[in-house]
Amino acid sequence: MIEITLPDGSIKEFEKGATPMEVAKSISEGLARNVISAKFNDITVECSTPLTKNGSLTLYTWNDKEGKKAFWHSTSHIVAQALEELYPGVKLTIGPAIENGFYYDVDLPEGNISEKDFPTIEQKALEIARGKHDFEMRDVSKSDALKFYKEQGNEYKVELIENLEDGSITFCDHDTFTDLCRGGHIPNTGIVKAIKILSVAGAYWRGDENKPQLTRVYGISFPKQKDLTEYLELLEEAKKRDHRKLGKELELFTFSQKVGQGLPLWLPKGAALRERLEQFLKKAQKKAGYEMVVTPHIGQKELYVTSGHYAKYGEDSFQPIRTPKEDEEFLLKPMNCPHHCEIYNTRPFSYKELPKRYAEFGTVYRYEQSGELHGLTRVRGFTQDDAHIFCTPDQLDQEFKEVIDLSLYVLGSLGFEDFTAQVSVRDLENPEKYIGSVENWEKAEQAIINAAKEKGLDYVIESGEAAFYGPKLDFMVKDALGRHWQLGTIQVDYNLPERFELTYKGSDNEMHRPVMIHRAPFGSMERFIALLLEHTGGNFPLWLIPDQAIVLPVSEKHEKYAEKVLKSLENNEIRALIDNRNETVGKKIREAEMKKIPFMLIVGENDESSTTVSVRRHGGEDLGAISIENFCDLVSTEINSTLKSFKE
């Protein structure tokens, strides 16, 4: 007999060789019907894998992240079989599950796959799925595996196998199809009820532009047709909310090939919006005891060698700037923290003067590959709302919790209420990825976990997601479309103070190292604004939106009164404009709706005689005729209800 420990801590005995599916059946028939994948001792296994020793078992359904991963990976096999049958001579490479769905990279013998081919691929894949074929794993010797793919003429699989150790190679079979695979499948193909091919793209083999270009087929699948229908509706809504589309319509930002890829240009309305975000945070930071600093956009190469950033970003970033002086090199700064360390180093500090909190809206530069650039979410130059706190070890816990408070204030003020906290720690199996002592890493990781607990955050621990110099806490926000984004980060760092030899004099008159906290509630201004655009659909909070109201005179003879209304609004610090074009009021309203302007103030003869405005909200709600003073009060009340002062 073997003992199986379940997630709730209970232990059950089974005969040696029992499978995860048999364990599920012993719990309930309902669970067995829904289980689609499993992990045993943290290793992914099939539902049919015989369990031969004591261990911990976790069962997954479609509702679990790991369940979806197995579902989509299994579908990639089904689609690969469909491609083999539809495109004789196609060479398969890899087909992993991704965050939403899967892809499979293939080398086509000739021609290409276009959108018109999608229905045919989907139909063939569903036909295979309906056969309810079991996914079965089998061990294969390295020589047999190489022989199999050499006979197929598939040099890609041969290359993969050559890098694997004999005894660790497995194939997955279903129906007439075989693929090189590590495992992690649903029980059978019949569980897949809906398949959609989403797009095709070019992709270099192993991401190397010097290697052959393949065709990447993206797709997604579901256990019910209804789920696919809902997903496609969500995709359509996401297209409407695409920040690149809205940014153009709302005249916020643009890009220029002459300026360079990944280098956004902020238009007047976008620049004003950025400025309001900056002032909002600066006001809160001032209350929290931060001091603003300014650092240059470049620094000597040695600065980033000392910090470790050159080793991290140097080769894949912008190349050094050489000056007329021999051997003198500068870099566009990839991070602000080395500069802030040097600011701290300008004079000696006593423990009584700590913590020191330096904040900066600092622009940094990283050379992202052109294929990875995406609107404002992935750029080559971006501005971080960066701050670095230098404190004593005894102050670390309280300082970290206060940064959590500030981050929660920022997210709440901008409508991001649904989030989890992710504590990112080291990958213990790859210690070479990180700098600093094990002792300091352990202290830093524990400090973050303790703070998250004390603040009552809903948090998860993710191994291998830490920065190279220290662990961090990231806020994973769920937007209006149910998508998850990382917004805001707090990091504990014992390493840079060591590298820059930062010190303070303690109460014992001895010199000590401060602890450093890195903190950016927005993350980057560019990415934050992009996600805010998509979350709100361009309907920003009233306190932030570029134009809060637009005055629409009914005819030319009402323009003078419209100017008077505008002046009153401006005197009450309401951002407004006039549309005095020779167009119908209906057209002006439609265009104001397109521009997401919250209030439309229509002024005609009756309004002028009674000193009122006829107010229409974005979306069509008619508030009727009200005095200008009452309208200003309405705007003020609405702003005050959504924008509280920090630590109010």
Q: Residues annotated as binding site for Zn(2+)? A: 337, 388, 518
Q: Are 70 and 186 in contact (CB under 8 A)?
A: yes
A 10 A CB-CB count for 445 gives: 20
Cα distance between residue 170 and residue 148, in whole Å? 12
Distances (CA, A) of 553 to 65, 291, 470, 589, 627: 54, 47, 59, 11, 16
| 638 closest CA partner among 599, 586, 593, 591 | 599
Q: Write out 475-533 in H/E/C secondary structure.
A: EEEECCCCCEEEEEEEEEECHHHHHCCCCEECCCCCEECCEEEEEECCCCHHHHHHHHH
Q: Are 522 and 277 in contact (CB under 8 A)?
A: yes
Burial of 432 (0-12, 13-18, 19+ CB in 10 A): exposed
Q: Which residues contact 45 (CB under 8 A, 6 or more apart)?
A: 20, 38, 39, 51, 183
Look-up of token digits 């398949």: 195
Q: Residues annotated in the binding site, as ranges?
A: 337, 388, 518
Distance of CA 118 to the CA centre of its chain: 28
**Cα dihedral value 175, 180, 184, 189, nearest 10:** -20
Q: Give one word for 218, left, alpha or beta, with left for phi > 0 and alpha for psi -120 to 50.
A: beta
With contact defined as beta carbons under 8 Å apart, do 183 and 137 qualify?
yes
Residue 480's closest CA among 427, 421, 533? 533
DSSP-derived pairing of the beta strands 599-603 and 549-553: parallel
**Residues catalogued as catalytic:** 337, 366, 384, 386, 388, 472, 518
3-state secondary structure of 281: helix
CA separation for the pair 625, 318 (Å, rounded): 58
Q: How far apart are CA 330 and CA 16, in angstroms?
A: 64
Residue 470 is given by DSSP the state B
| Cα–Cα distance for residue pair 254/277, rounded to 1 Å | 19
Burial class (CB in 10 A: 0-12, 13-18, 19+), 643: middle
Distance, CA of 580 to CA of 345 (rounded, Å): 58
